[in-house]
Amino acid sequence: MLTVIVVTAVVTGLLVIIGLNFATPEKQLERKVDHHYAVSDPQFRREMGVLLGPAILPGNTIKDLQNGDEIFPAMLEAIRGARKTISFETYIYWEGDVGKQFADALSERAKAGVQVHVTIDWAGSFSMEEDQLKEMEDAGVQVQRYRPLHWYNLARLNNRTHRKLLIVDGRTAFTGGVGIGDPWRGNAEDPDHWRDMHFRVEGPVVAQFQAAFNDNWIKTTGRVLNGTDNFPALTPVNGMDAHMFISSPNGGSESMHLMYLMAIAAAEQSIDLEAAYFIPDQLITTALLEARKRNVRIRVIVPGENTDSDAARHASRRDWGPMLKAGIEISEYAPTMFHNKMLIVDKEVVSVGSTNFDLRSFRLNDEASLNVYDKAFAERMTEIFEQDLGKSKRYTYETWEKRPLKEKFMETFVLPIKSQL
């Protein structure tokens, strides 16, 4: 009898923990956002700045970096040039050459007296080489593993930090989709080298990057990083309007979900979306279909056969039918794994960062996104989108209707875990 009670208690406890990990924020959007204005309307910016949190700041310089050949040298150069502080947060930190380069660079700066603070997600860095972690800690790098496997973290084990943030001396920042791992090396030239983007940022918005880093640093350590070394005076120059905002299930926030809904609702001409994981919920799907009724051209690029998640690909395709039938153009990137995350609306507003177009990013992960309000930058990113589109294969409604039974079965199989992919 005692054995039965113990087993029942253990099983019940496990089910409760699993249920808590599947739970979404208390505050959830339930109704679609209506179309009241265009992205060019000053009201759009007013509401984006207020509802998403940080104000939109003028005078920023934002440079896109394409693939590992451009991204890693720029990040490492900034780290090696640090004089006072480095704040670095990432989800993926895998074993390999890239991880060693970053560990060496961060360690060298710490030995030189630079204050180096690093937050690495525990799950995303599971394969990280322990000698690299020890090298950094021995050099004086303050490293925190975000939500490691402990009994007191079990109920939140599914909530990870997916943010990609690097801030150097409070003046130069980076964000985008790249993890610290060897698959991101090269120039997306073959299936072993992934396609991705990152962005180098200077200007007043860098202070919002530092504030975003502080969010999880405070959660993990209880300490705040402040002072002029982390928040120097930043003078606006001729440049772009932008803001960096974050979301986290801890705060019951749906900032990323709301941002996408507001941007889609404001579209009047075009929506170009690059999504490493394209699994929209019903609200997002409805918003896209409503945009099509306004004759908005919608183009989406997603991974093709070269993907790191077949389950996510099947979950995505299941709901393509109504979108394809409505004229939404979906194309699959062919050469390699497609890891880009970018939204361009009416060639005027661009959103980039760590956020995927799926329920995990909207409701479970800690995310950080940079919105840029600048026509010239949007034009540049549209050129990049067109280049990616040229390497992608259009997926038609006819193809979707005739997809094999095996695919339909897999789509049904992954349906119960759709929010976890």
Give the lowest-confidence range in 122-136, 183-197, 221-235, 407-421.
407-421
Q: Is 6 among the domain residues?
A: no
**Cα–Cα distance measured from residue 307 to residue 177, given in angstroms and rounded to the nearest whole number:** 15
Tokens of 270: 């075009």
pLDDT for residue 417: 59
CATH of the domain at 314: 3.30.870.10
Sole residue written with tokens 């150069």: 77
Q: Is 229 among the domain residues?
A: yes
Higher pLDDT, 381 or 310: 381
Number of domains within the chain: 1
Closest CA to 72 of 150, 164, 211, 186: 186
Residue 197 dihedral angles phi and psi, to the nearest 5°: -135, 150
pLDDT for residue 98: 97
pLDDT at 153 over 70: no
| Opening angle at CA 79, ends 78 and 84, nearest 5 | 105
pLDDT tens per residue, range 36-54: 999 999 999 999 998 887 9
Pairing of strands 197-202, 172-176: antiparallel
Q: Is 105 among the domain residues?
A: yes
pLDDT tens per residue, range 75-126: 999 999 999 999 999 999 999 999 999 999 999 999 999 999 999 998 888 8
Closest CA to 52 of 251, 339, 199: 251
Model confidence band, residue 253 (pLDDT cutoffs 50, 70, 90) = low
Q: What would the mean pLDDT of 312-327 be, rounded to a whole number? A: 91
Model confidence band, residue 67 (pLDDT cutoffs 50, 70, 90) = very high
What one-character DSSP code corresponds to residue 301? E
Sole residue written with tokens 């992919």: 421
Q: Is 302 among the domain residues?
A: yes
DSSP-H helix ranges across 301-396 = 310-317, 320-325, 359, 375-389
Residue 71 dihedral angles phi and psi, to the nearest 5°: -70, -55
Tokens of 185: 């090396």
Q: What would the mean pLDDT of 321-330 be, rounded to a whole number? A: 97
pLDDT above 90 covers what percent of the chain? 72
What one-character DSSP code corresponds to residue 56? P
Closest CA to 273 of 204, 356, 363, 154: 356
- Provide the residue range defining the domain that includes 193: 24-420
Higher pLDDT, 413 or 245: 245
Q: Is 365 among the domain residues?
A: yes
Q: Is 13 among the domain residues?
A: no
Sole residue written with tokens 């976890």: 420
Q: Is 265 among the domain residues?
A: yes
pLDDT at 14 over 50: no
Q: Is 375 among the domain residues?
A: yes
Higher pLDDT, 24 or 397: 397
